[in-house]
Amino acid sequence: MLRFLLIFSLLFSGLFYSQSKLNLIPFPQKVEYLKGEFVFPEVLILDENLPKQETEYLKKKLKGNFKFQNSGKSESHLMYILLQESANSEQNKEFYTLEISPKQILIKSYTKQGYFLAVQTLIQLFEEFGNNKKIPSLKIEDQPKFSWRGMHLDVCRHFFTVDEVKQYIDYLAMYKLNTFHWHLTDDQGWRIEIKKYPKLTQIGSKRKESMIGAYVDNKFDGKPYGPYFYTQEQIKGVVKYAQDRHITVVPEIEMPGHALAALSAYPELACTKGPFEPATKWGVFDDVFCPKEETFTFLENVLDEVMTLFPSQYIHIGGDECPKTRWKECAHCQDLIRKNNLKDEHGLQSYFIHRIEKYVNSKGRKIIGWDEILEGGLAPNAAVMSWTGVNGGIEAAKSKHFAVMTPGSYCYFDHYQGDPATEPNAFGGFTPLDKVYSYNPIPGELNEEQAQYILGVQANLWTEYILDFKQVQYMIFPRLFALSEVGWGTSEPKNYKEFESRVINEFKVLDRLNVNYAKSIYNVSGKVIPDKNGASYELSTSQNPDGIRYTLDGTEPAMNSQIYQNPIPVSKSMTIKSAYFENRQLKSAVSSQQFTTSKTTGKSISLEQQPSENYSFGGAFTLVDGIVGNVKQLGKTWLGFQGKDVVATIDLGEKTKFSEVYFNTLENKGSWIHLAKSAQIFISDDNKNFKLIKEIGKEEIQNAKGKIKINVGNQSAKYIKVKIENAGIIPAGNPGADSKAWLFVDEIGAL
């Protein structure tokens, strides 16, 4: 009987652990549960042959939980076997197995890097089971899907200390990311010491003031910023710190655009005489490096010092957002275009990148740049970092160039992650945790062979609106968890709720580390969905949905407010406020959504041209969901179209009378967003033959400041077609001149 109970107990223990999934991030590729448990000893005996540096890291992390003692293999609690076969791929270099039995923990890997990743898993297991002082016996067999799993940090718009940068690297190591992309130069600041050119930091590392608040407010703090930069000794320390954690640091030196800080120090490198100063505003500026011989000499000398400091295979050379205004007006540039039989200024950009790549290749390194380096033809050995969407990565992979996927719509962590009303000021956009988790870095357009050119995934943190390191923490956590699992290759969007529970469990680790993470995950989120009567507002929360309370009259929710059970019909203009309560206490911020309904609300809508991937949240339905655009939520309540017209057809369901059509467009020229050039309203009863009933021009749109209300007289129709014309190419004298303008449109209504 006793034997039967013991066997039953062991079986039940294994069943319990198999049903209670481990709270690991990223989740391993393969987990096998075994019988028994490893009970925490007072002294953790370490195999004397364990890799020393990585084991010291483990001991430091577990300090306070154990005493440590080195000993021979046979009696060690923690043992290590270095697999003799050579690792045959980048991913295999990060392969490991972790076997936990009642008496021993055994790690196997091909490399110290694999051992270090196993150590990170082991640390998470000790953290999870620390209160019980025992870990279930199990075997983990693991390796990442992608060889590039990165996080970027912009230190130009706002600067962060060496200690803060090291903390950032620690976060990457904890969750098995392996690349730190350090954005060191831009218009607003030059942050790396270059001994040959001391004025870069003497002049370029400071600015007279900084923009504050929302961009549209155009306000400045009037306070000098800087000088802030990293000495070469400090950079060596950061690189060594990262190497000790098996993280590659990829430096970025921006060219040919985003160069104002450099030009302020060395104005002779520009197409005009200047004078220049580091930018105090955010955005894109016309003054860029001029492609003359002294510029290439300067950049080669800079890169020589950079490559001495950074041993990474790739050197990031930027290449993005380079206006061609100065090049068009520059006699030298035009002569260069003619002499080299270049097609135009885009060809000159390609010439510039080719020159730099040839030099970097001569030093045994490779370049990587933002997807604008595709302009005019991609340099022979260049890799592409695809940020404007996925097309840059697709084009690179199809031409057998490597690519890192970092599309803004999924991987820009300077975007809002919750309701802007409850979040600190951010760049815009809307990239919540579940959206990051849903990302697949391999585009469906690629076949199996082409997919091999996708190195991996990276998230970017631009810091225009991030003033200190506490806010850095807030913007990356918990979204870094999702990125980690996407890069590891074990994310499963259909199981998002299970991932969400692991995220919430991991918050206790961040609490112990005093990390200021975003708690947006606890807030009630809303989504407008079409239904047979028009539209409904669906509420959800990471917690028990029974705790959601809401009001329809604009008052604050309380415990005695309506209990949310089903999507709320949006049949009239109203304000829905919602919040989550637990044990009769308010546990979340109050979420508020105002609805302005019209005869188009909830109706079927189609678009002839689709919005940019970065600004496509909700698709065409966003234009008839009853929500008027919020200038802080460009990625959620607006659709954005670069260089495209908006042609929307709305099916009213039956012939309907109306006399006014309205819509909003947005103007923010600093971000290349321009008001529409014109608008036309058409009607039809068969969706084939359309009649033009009203047209307005640029002057009327400008006078209305983008809030367009068009009196169309007494009309009756089943279909309304609205054509809104994009401003086209941005004219000289504006940020982004010679580039395609953005057109942002929100709610299209009829009254």
| Structural domain ending residue among the three candidates 511, 533, 565 | 511
Classified as helix, coil or strand, 160 is: coil
What does each C-alpha distance from 182 to 101, 138, 239 come to in angstroms?
Answer: 41, 38, 11
Tell me how long the chain is.
Answer: 751
Tokens of 696: 């307005």
pTM attached to this predicted model: 0.92
Residues 476 and 541 in one domain: no
32: in domain:
yes
pLDDT for position 92: 84
Residues 17 and 156 in one domain: no
Residues 137 and 35 in one domain: yes
Q: Which regions in the chain score pLDDT beneath 50?
A: 1-19
Residues 336 and 481 in one domain: yes
517: in domain:
no
Residues with active-site annotation = 186, 258, 321
- What range does the domain containing 662 cover? 604-750
DSSP letter for each residue of 193-225: --TT-THHHHTTT-BS--EES-GGG-EE----B
Residues 672 and 577 in one domain: no
C-alpha span between 290 and 297 (Å, rounded): 12
469: in domain:
yes
Collect all residues with Cβ–Cβ distance below 8 Å to 526 and sequence separation of at least 6.
537, 538, 539, 540, 576, 578, 591, 593
The CA-based angle 472-176-17, given to 5 degrees, is 115
| Structural domain ending residue among the three candidates 122, 142, 162 | 142
| Structural domain ending residue among the three candidates 113, 142, 171 | 142
168: in domain:
yes
CB 492 within 8 A of CB 437: no
Neighbours of 43 (CB within 10 A): 11
pLDDT for position 271: 97
User: Which residues, listed in sequence order, are joined to residue 219 by a DSSP beta bridge?
Assistant: 212
Neighbours of 31 (CB within 10 A): 17
66: in domain:
yes
C-alpha span between 549 and 555 (Å, rounded): 12
Residues 453 and 556 in one domain: no
pLDDT for position 73: 66
Residues 643 and 587 in one domain: no
Bridge-based pairing of strands 574-582 and 591-595 is antiparallel
Tokens of 461: 């943190």
pLDDT for position 629: 82
Matching residue, tokens 């003033």 = 467
SS3 annotation, 300-336 = HHHHHHHHHHCCCCEEEEECCCCCCHHHHHCHHHHHH
C-alpha span between 283 and 300 (Å, rounded): 26
516: in domain:
no
Residues 479 and 615 in one domain: no
Query: How far separated are the first and last CA of the chain, in Å rounded?
Result: 80
Residues 299 and 157 in one domain: yes
Domain CATH number, residue 663 = 2.60.120.260
Phi and psi at 86, nearest 5°, equal -75, 145
Residues 285 and 423 in one domain: yes
253: in domain:
yes
Matching residue, tokens 């492609």 = 291
Tally of domains in the chain: 4
pLDDT for position 190: 98
C-alpha span between 385 and 366 (Å, rounded): 13
Distant-in-sequence contacts of 497-502, Cβ < 8 A, 24+ apart? 497/542, 498/21, 499/27, 499/437, 500/433, 500/434, 500/542, 501/23, 502/21, 502/23, 502/24, 502/25, 502/27
Task: Establish how many alpha carbons lie within 13 A of residue 33's alpha carbon, considering only the half-sphere containing its beta carbon.
Answer: 17
28: in domain:
yes
Residues 387 and 347 in one domain: yes
Residues 270 and 404 in one domain: yes
pLDDT for position 388: 87
pLDDT for position 6: 39
Q: What are 548-571's pLDDT values in tens digits?
A: 999 999 899 999 999 999 999 998
Domain CATH number, residue 392 = 3.20.20.80
Run of H or E including 120: helix 112-129
pLDDT for position 734: 79
